[in-house]
Amino acid sequence: MEKKDIDWGNLGFGYMETSYSYVCNYKDGAWEEGGLTTDHSVTVSECAGILHYCQEVFEGLKAYTTEDGRIVCFRPDLNAARMADSAKRLVMPEFPQDKFVEAVKMVVEANKEWVPPFGSGATLYVRPYMFATGVVIGVKPATEYQFRILVTPVGPYFKGGKEAITITVADYDRAAPRGTGDIKAGLNYAMSLHPYEEAHKRGYSENLYLDSATRSYVEETGGANVLFVDKQSNLVVPQSHTNSILPSITRRSLVTVAKDILGMSVVERPVKFEEVTNGDFMECGLCGTAAVISPVGHIEAEGVDVTFVDGAENAGPVMSKLRRTLTDIQSGAIEGPEGWIVEIC
């Protein structure tokens, strides 16, 4: 399969217009058939619900080229289910989950020459999203919506790849964390943009958020879940008392990889930030669709200076093994659990 003439190895994590997107409209209480489009623009009324009451949900997943030349996606059914949960919370019509998966297959296959080659370190990022197009001026749900999928080839989310990054503790509480209550997708990233920009100005890659009630428990970062490795080599996965951590598909997959494939002990529990500052953890990583696992070498803030002994400069042994195993499953190098890999073409 001939690929586009792109310097795949030097791609950043940004948008590049590809050949096709997918579009489907909801009107009169039903979804239309939907299909591919070469029009990558969106036109809505100045009174569209998305512009006034922010009815919008989105997902993120990736497509990969395997060593034997196939193109595959990783667990799109879970993205479909999570988007349906998000739509319910925002009083939006659910996009049928089987139709979601078929739409992903359709748009990825149509853009197969844009899927980076095996071994390049790049992937095709797939962004399904849905928003209110119907006119609404009073505070109420719209009656018309559009579901779209764009795809774009991307490189690593954090510069440096396997090199450890330095993060800081957020100076601000988000008004609504990514996974607040029963919201199951990334609905509130806008709330973290200001502290994100402030962190970048000070040279940090990300913000670590603590719980807003007591500021004593680890939640997540602005764009990823957090993982730790303790001194007994257990994988420690922070849990939230208020269900405010986004239920990451990557995190859930890594827990299964750790338990069932690598035979590791996994502990899912609330994690006090005091444990982090006391040096109880040997490794730290940020996980998500975009990052996969990015190692954290240091956490710095006023009165805080933490270095993770086994991952200060590069990914530590546990994070390296987890990342390698998951990416090998995603790329087809090793067989994963049934249903994880969906072949496109």
Q: Which residues are catalytic?
A: 184
- Distance CA(333)–CA(318), nearest Å, equals 19
Helix (H, G, I), strand (E, B) or coil at 135: strand
Buried b (16+ CB within 10 A) or exposed e, 267-291: eeeebbbeebeeeebbbbbbbbbbb
Nearest to 66 by CA among 322, 301, 297, 345: 345
- One-letter amino acid at 232 equals Q
Polymer length in residues for the chain? 345
Going by their DSSP bridges, the two strands 235-238 and 35-37 should be labelled as: unpaired
Decide if 154 contacts 122 (C-beta within 8 A).
yes
Q: Could you give the CA distance from residue 123 to residue 156 in angstroms, rounded to a whole number?
A: 9
Read off the DSSP letter of residue 66: -
Helix axes 249-256, 76-89, angle to 10 degrees: 140
Helix (H, G, I), strand (E, B) or coil at 25: strand
Contact by Cβ (8 Å): 128, 185: no
Pairing of the two strands 145-154 and 123-132: antiparallel
